Structure 1
Amino acid sequence: MSRLGLAAAVLIACAPALASPPALTEAQQLASVSTPFAVSREHITDDLYHYQFDLRVGSTPNARVRIHRVVRELSPWRPRPTSQAVMLLHGDFANFITNFVPSLGHPASSAPGLAPYLASRGIDAWGVDRRWTLPTTDGDISDLGEMGIHQAIGDTAVALAFARATRTLTDRDPGRIVLGGFSHGAQLTYAYAAADGRHISAIAALDIYYDIAPEDADLKALACANAAAERDALAQGVTDSSNSLFITAGQLARSAPEETSPLFSGYTNRGVALTLSGLTWWLAPYTPVYHLSAPIFDAEGNVTGLRESSEEDVTAWFASAPPHQSMLETAEFDEIWCGTTPRPELAKIRVPLFYLGAAGGFGDHGLYSTTKVSSTDITTHVVRRFGPERVAEDFGHGDLLYAKDAPTLAWGPLAAWLRRH
């Protein structure tokens, strides 16, 4: 184990001293990771490196908190000190690597990645994978049914405490850091800030809503219906919300794009990937014309290409998805939107908030949630190319991470806000 890993293992045992006394669950988790853990280091580009820490936090098969750090180095295992730091939470069918450092994914992507972008500009970029990302296709998923939002909030607290303890060593900075998230990772960001928030100085929500606006009653009804169906699946013993559709679609679009798809009748493999990307609202109408990637349409309304992100990068995102996902987490996220069960309330959030939306994703529908927090420091920025009449073609949800112009249109405003917070 490296000197950094050994030192961080010692520091993590002292992490509660950095803040007010933690809740019992967090205290137990922090105590359990004071022993040595797995750490790795890999090169990204130039002086940028990726560190990965696996912390054992229990006895079940996947009771680990996988923490990531992307940072510039002064020398091997010696990060360049920074004064700003952010922890990023991934979205669905993804992990930290596939969402934020896609060049290290399997398959690798040509997209430069938000985390390296931030790190190259002096912002220490951290992340944490939720436990459902850890099992392989044939791995042990016997604990998948325990992987809900309460557990994810606890794991996020452990990761934040670990990051602060490590930064105390490497950067001489024990201060709180910004918590940011993409998609459902942003919903978890809201939930953590409302339920705990002890380790964070601000939050950044990338394209999501938490509270649904009154005028979007149809979207709330959809969430309630989805939550009921997912609870029914759980009652029948289904704990895995499989990502096989995205994985297979991505793999086939890359290996045999013009062959007939076994997934959707009448489509080629490329056509399936384009449809999932550009007409996502057919399967997941989170907004009326919600899409992952801005589509190019033909006269009949079929998707013939992608306007912002390359097909190679989008299919790499799909193909590199973790095979499993927690049905319990999916149900609980929908229940937050439905508002039918107890949940952390946005009014408890008092730290600064940055909302970054995509016009063709959650976009303007995510603005309502920003009005429900108690913070007086709120910044919003929705990336859009067109007027409301062309929202079906506009900047998509995933374009915030993979579009050629994402660094200019999305990452630059986020980095500027992070430097001020």
Structure 2
Amino acid sequence: MSRPGLVAIAVIVACAPALASPVSSTEAEQLASVSAPFAVTREHVTDDIYHYQFDIRVGSTPNARVRIHRVVRELSPWRPRPTRHAVMLLHGDFANFVTNFVPSLGNPASPAPGLAPYLVSRGIDTWGVDRRWTLPTADGDISDMGGMGVDQAIGDTAVALAFARATRTVTDRDPGRIVLGGFSHGAQLTYAYAAADGRHVSAIAALDIYYDIAPEDADLRAFACANAAAEREALAQGVTDSSNSLFITAGQLARSAPDETSPLFPSYTNRGVLLTLAGLTWWLAPYTPVYHLSAPILDANGDVSAMSESSEDSVSAWFAGAPPHQSLREAADFDDIWCGASPRPELARIRVPLFYLGAAGGFGDHGLYSTTRVSSTDITTRVIRRFGPERVAEDFGHGDLLYAEDAPTLAWGPFAAWLLRH
């Protein structure tokens, strides 16, 4: 349901700093940047929970928009139920806020209930922001894709956080800072934002990622350095778009014709491609030695016969709903951070509370080193695992944190409990 041109809301947000605690001149500029009229949509999620989407123009280039999301319980239409706790979630690769955190609203719709509605049902106002590369359509203008790096994402995150705080000042009478959290590369961006800026943020949560790579993981650092070098070379040649067509096509075909021979990899069926990309992800992306998106059931030949945690319907919807484009510059920036070959925001600058939630078959234990590099005194870590180290190839996967049947019990419950304490 759309309600375009909500000038009244824009005016309220623009006036919000007068109700809030004192803000710096930079914070005032961030709030002022979102005071112009903008488009708002509202849609039902479940029960009394609704999803709001705000599209805000922040520049003159084709995709100079910040898309901010809010999932919240309502007292009545367009009237959020006030809360004392709030979090902003940053999405990962080949995804946006909806497909990662409210997947039932995705296209295609997913049967996974979603982390955001779960948190909202427990009294946590849940926000998000999409990075600019998620916004163009398949035939859209991506001429500004080359500028979509981590520095731009940090700035857009600051705008979104300022907007959320100003809005909560009006709707919840709460001008306080909020928790910033992220999944996958969204968690790497969370670390980078907290280290580079940190205003608006009361605590941070990293869902399955590393930022600083441990000394004993030199091979993982070498992989990141090689990727960064290749990506920088491609950028120098004018390539800016890292297409998500592989995931989109694999997801679509697994849903529409699972038993037919795959045009992507003819030795597999379409279902087999989905299972392999999800369960043996380390073949393409060895972020850890047996990194995988979804916990696989392996047959005697080491092939994936099924998924043990997330349904194929959920995973195929995640893949098929991916934005068509992704910024190669952002990928290079993230790999440079992992490589440590160029200046970057240092984790030692982070002093706010930190929660790390890992998946044993994802980044898992490899993400723990980063938590030792911050200056925070309040650090909580939890790695979800089913098995011992000898079966990590079959253990809880990276994406299972968001889509597994048991994710609410194993992952979301501890996360919500921590948020309610912070």
Both proteins in one fold, TM over 0.5: yes
State the match for 2:398 in structure 1. 397
- Aligned equivalents of 2:325, 2:307: Cα separation in 1: 27
Structure 1, residues 52-111: CA drift from partner, whole Å, max 9, x if none? 001110000110100000000010011111000000000000000000000000000000
Asked if residue 268 in structure 1 is aligned to residue 269 in structure 2, the reply is yes
Following superposition, the deviation at residue 129 of structure 1 comes to 0.2
Q: Which of 15, 21, 24 is equivalent to 2:24?
A: 21
Following superposition, the deviation at residue 34 of structure 1 comes to 1.4
The alignment's TM-score, normalised by the length of structure 2, stands at 0.97
* Distance change in 2, residues 1:70/1:5 (3 Å): farther
User: Does the 8 A contact of 1:12 with 1:162 survive in 2?
Assistant: no
* Distance change in 2, residues 1:305/1:234 (3 Å): same
Following superposition, the deviation at residue 411 of structure 1 comes to 0.1
State the match for 1:386 in structure 2. 387
- Aligned equivalents of 2:75, 2:325: Cα separation in 1: 37
State the match for 1:107 in structure 2. 108
- Aligned equivalents of 2:235, 2:23: Cα separation in 1: 36
* Distance change in 2, residues 1:347/1:257 (3 Å): same
* Distance change in 2, residues 1:360/1:101 (3 Å): same
Paired residues for 1:357-396 under 5 Å: 357-396=358-397
- Aligned equivalents of 1:118, 1:5: Cα separation in 2: 29
**What letter matches 1:7 in structure 2?**
I
Secondary structure of residue in 2 paired with 1:322: coil
User: Does the 8 A contact of 2:5 with 2:40 survive in 1?
Assistant: no
Secondary structure of residue in 1 paired with 2:71: strand
Asked if residue 6 in structure 1 is aligned to residue 45 in structure 2, the reply is no
User: Does the 8 A contact of 1:189 with 1:203 survive in 2?
Assistant: yes
Secondary structure of residue in 1 paired with 2:209: coil
Structure 1, residues 359-406: CA drift from partner, whole Å, max 9, x if none? 000000000000000000000000000000000000000000000000
User: Does the 8 A contact of 1:186 with 1:204 survive in 2?
Assistant: yes
Secondary structure of residue in 1 paired with 2:88: strand
- Aligned equivalents of 1:20, 1:224: Cα separation in 2: 39
Following superposition, the deviation at residue 35 of structure 1 comes to 1.1
**What letter matches 1:258 in structure 2?**
D
The alignment's TM-score, normalised by the length of structure 1, stands at 0.97
State the match for 2:189 in structure 1. 188
Aligned-pair identity in percent equals 83
**What letter matches 1:291 in structure 2?**
H
Following superposition, the deviation at residue 230 of structure 1 comes to 0.2
**What letter matches 2:65 in structure 1?**
R
State the match for 1:166 in structure 2. 167
- Aligned equivalents of 1:222, 1:193: Cα separation in 2: 25
* Distance change in 2, residues 1:2/1:175 (3 Å): farther
- Aligned equivalents of 1:205, 1:366: Cα separation in 2: 9
State the match for 2:81 in structure 1. 80
State the match for 1:155 in structure 2. 156
- Aligned equivalents of 2:6, 2:49: Cα separation in 1: 16
User: Does the 8 A contact of 2:265 with 2:273 survive in 1?
Assistant: yes
Paired residues for 1:215-254 under 5 Å: 215-254=216-255
* Distance change in 2, residues 1:390/1:325 (3 Å): same
User: Does the 8 A contact of 2:6 with 2:39 survive in 1?
Assistant: no
User: Does the 8 A contact of 1:62 with 1:131 survive in 2?
Assistant: yes
- Aligned equivalents of 2:378, 2:394: Cα separation in 1: 32
State the match for 1:39 in structure 2. 40
Paired residues for 1:110-121 under 5 Å: 110-121=111-122
User: Does the 8 A contact of 2:30 with 2:158 survive in 1?
Assistant: no
Structure 1, residues 273-309: CA drift from partner, whole Å, max 9, x if none? 0000000000000000000000001100000000000
Following superposition, the deviation at residue 319 of structure 1 comes to 0.0
Following superposition, the deviation at residue 184 of structure 1 comes to 0.1
State the match for 1:306 in structure 2. 307
* Distance change in 2, residues 1:19/1:308 (3 Å): farther
Structure 1, residues 292-340: CA drift from partner, whole Å, max 9, x if none? 0000011000000000000000000000000000000000000000001
Secondary structure of residue in 1 paired with 2:393: helix
Asked if residue 257 in structure 1 is aligned to residue 258 in structure 2, the reply is yes
State the match for 1:52 in structure 2. 53
Asked if residue 69 in structure 1 is aligned to residue 70 in structure 2, the reply is yes
Gaps of 5+ in 1: none
Secondary structure of residue in 1 paired with 2:138: coil
Gaps of 5+ in 2: none
* Distance change in 2, residues 1:195/1:181 (3 Å): same
- Aligned equivalents of 1:191, 1:230: Cα separation in 2: 20
Following superposition, the deviation at residue 264 of structure 1 comes to 1.1
RMSD of aligned residue pairs (Cα, Å)? 1.5
**What letter matches 1:130 in structure 2?**
R
- Aligned equivalents of 1:19, 1:227: Cα separation in 2: 41
Secondary structure of residue in 2 paired with 1:117: helix
Structure 1, residues 250-287: CA drift from partner, whole Å, max 9, x if none? 00000000111111130000000000000000000000
User: Does the 8 A contact of 1:5 with 1:39 survive in 2?
Assistant: no
